[in-house]
Structure 1
Amino acid sequence: MDDLEQFGDVGSLDDNVESFLSNDDGDARDIFAALKRSPAEPNLAASKGFTFSEVNCWRTSNSKVVCCHFSSDGKILASAGHEKKAVLWNMENFQTQYMPEEHGLIITDVRFRPNSSHLATSSFDRTIKLWNAADPGFSMHTFNGHSYQVTSLDFHPKKTDLLCSCDGNGEIRYWNVTQLTCLRAMKGGTAQVRFQPNSGQFLAAAAENVVSIFDIETHGKKYTLQGHNTDVQSVCWDNSGEYLASVSQDLVKVWSIASGECIHELSSNGNKFHSCVFHPSYPNLLVIGGYQSLEVWNMVKNQSLTVQAHEGLIAALAQSPVTGMVASASHDNSVKVWK
């Protein structure tokens, strides 16, 4: 991956704002089309200008960063990866704080408990650890039970004592973080698990080139979302919980949870897509992380802009609806925040 050529052209977001954010039926092939018209697009306040620029950057000593997540209030960004210890980044003063190195192997995922200073980390060492960002001197608990490398985890948005995880052998486990017990184990996810926001009615689980949507109450499978030719690297929900995006190296697909159908699709055109997140302020925009560059894709108009962002693969993206910030974590050993 490190030897790959730089892909894509830099798109100037400021120049292309009107067309990019507008929802009308203008010529979608002409990204400057709206500049030729009066900018009367009230739906996304496009005339106020859309920016997507780097706010700050934090670099590890010499380790790939593979995951990141904002706390519910948007005040802390947690990131982790090959360094085997997570970092807490204060979004108000941009001070960073290392958490202890208790994991034996790389950390694969980090997630905050909703409306809490608690967070959890998953690792190739087959464990999950629970932490308190307000007192990060040591982990609160270690969950054992997975017999393979733990690849992902997530907290339920409402039942916040419910934690879900998956491992490299496809096992999904539900944990109660208050009673410190494993509630259930089932098959269905190897790469990533993500609860539907707000209601938490569904769990999206990626395994190979398929995404399964499980009903949390019945544990039955609502949908099997098929259409990727290669492994799905990551999935993300929009803030409403109505749409799910899934990313493989060559393709991004956006699905309607009401119908289970794919409603939007974007080819990577030679870039290697890996991560995605819906823009926290503009629901029609999906931010996609690839090799070195971010694609900001207007799904409705099917237009995308390329932003040069990192010097390596962008392994993970996160967003905060409270602050409007987007975070990117990369194999170039850095984490960046954008707005």
Structure 2
Amino acid sequence: MWRHPCQDFRVSGVQYFSHHKGEVNCCSFSPDCQNLLTCSDDGRIYLWHMASGKLLAKAHGHTGPVKCCVFSKDGQFFASASHDRSVVIWRASTIQRVHILTGHSRSVETVSFSVDGKWFASGGWDHKAILWDTQTGLKLREFQGHTAAVQSSVFSTNSILATGSWDGSVKLWSLCDTEEVVTLNGHQGNVACLCFSTTGMLASGSWDGTVRVWSSKRRQCVFVLGGVERVWVRCVTFSRDGLLLASTAEGDRVKIWDMANGKCIKCLQGHKDSAYGCVFSPSGALLTTGSEQLDLREEEVKDDK
């Protein structure tokens, strides 16, 4: 009998990373899946070796909690966003600061790279998002239209930037047309996280306890996931093939969703407190989640066929 490839998953091989002294806000795999980047309210950014769990390097440069960190698609750079109102671009090979950018007037909550790595975007409590040039550090464009803090951002291609805000909306900004912007409404709370799939779907997670999956082409909501309990959805991430979506939320909730039908196929347990960041490895075999408990869990996701 044929089985959908998303069915019958089990979790094994849990590994803990626990050097942070504050809440782990975000984690990001390097493109080759050899290293893992994490950031925390302790103001520190750590680089880990995935296979051994060894702490490779500490990046020092922020004077406040680090809210977001992310690798560029080619792995040459990583970026960090902080409550100290700055964005820092780092050279991954040397852990040296390339640019220190101070275009925001309040805490910076999100940073993301374009697909080709030429641009990156930041957003924060000043209600705006900024598009930057990665090589020069020059500000290219400001996006204004949200009426509250911009907490999440993600590029689909080099032509669209999505931002999520405390005003409850998701906005799609055209990078080719300075006038075009599409607003996606439906959430009843702030939009804390966003992720595009390779198939063109956009997932948004909110304080209203739901994850909404949108068709970016039709500008319509396809699935509303969860919502039975009003818990803060903190992070969403697609597997590389777009068949799975993982979400983390308050109260030890890590869920795997089947994107063929919007059904929850697995609830992962192990954190003793709220789960924060989550990310699939490029192969889709590993899922890493960070928690308020000041640790990270690396979990192997296997198909039991």
TM-score when scaled to structure 1? 0.69
Any conservation in 2 of the 1:170–1:187 contact (CA below 8 Å)?
yes
Structure 1: unaligned runs, 5 residues or longer: 1-24, 32-48, 303-339
1:214–1:29 Cα change, 3 Å = closer
1:270–1:90 Cα change, 3 Å = same
Within-5 A mapping of 1:1-339: 50-136=51-137, 138-157=138-157, 160-189=158-187, 190-196=191-197, 198-200=198-200, 202-207=201-206, 208-226=208-226, 229=229, 230-250=231-251, 251-281=253-283, 283-291=284-292, 292-300=294-302
Distance in 2 (alpha carbons) for counterparts of 1:90 and 1:236: 25
1:188–1:151 Cα change, 3 Å = farther
SS at match of 2:194: strand
* Larger gyration radius, structure 1 or structure 2: 1
SS at match of 1:233: strand
Any conservation in 1 of the 2:62–2:82 contact (CA below 8 Å)?
no
Distance in 1 (alpha carbons) for counterparts of 2:289 and 2:165: 24
State percent identity of aligned pairs.
25
Distance in 2 (alpha carbons) for counterparts of 1:178 and 1:228: 39
Alignment deviations for residues 141-190 of structure 1 (CA, whole Å, 9 cap, x no partner): 11111111111111113xx2111112112111111123223421121351
Give the CA deviation at 1:63: 0.7
Q: Cα RMSD over matched residues?
A: 2.5
SS at match of 1:224: strand
Give the CA deviation at 1:258: 1.2
1:228–1:240 Cα change, 3 Å = farther
Give the CA deviation at 1:227: 5.8
When the two structures are aligned, how many residues end up with a matched partner? 254
Structure 2: unaligned runs, 5 residues or longer: 1-7, 15-49
Higher strand fraction: Structure 1 or Structure 2? 2
Any conservation in 2 of the 1:66–1:82 contact (CA below 8 Å)?
yes
Distance in 1 (alpha carbons) for counterparts of 2:12 and 2:58: 34
SS at match of 1:191: strand
Any conservation in 2 of the 1:210–1:232 contact (CA below 8 Å)?
yes
Any conservation in 2 of the 1:212–1:223 contact (CA below 8 Å)?
yes
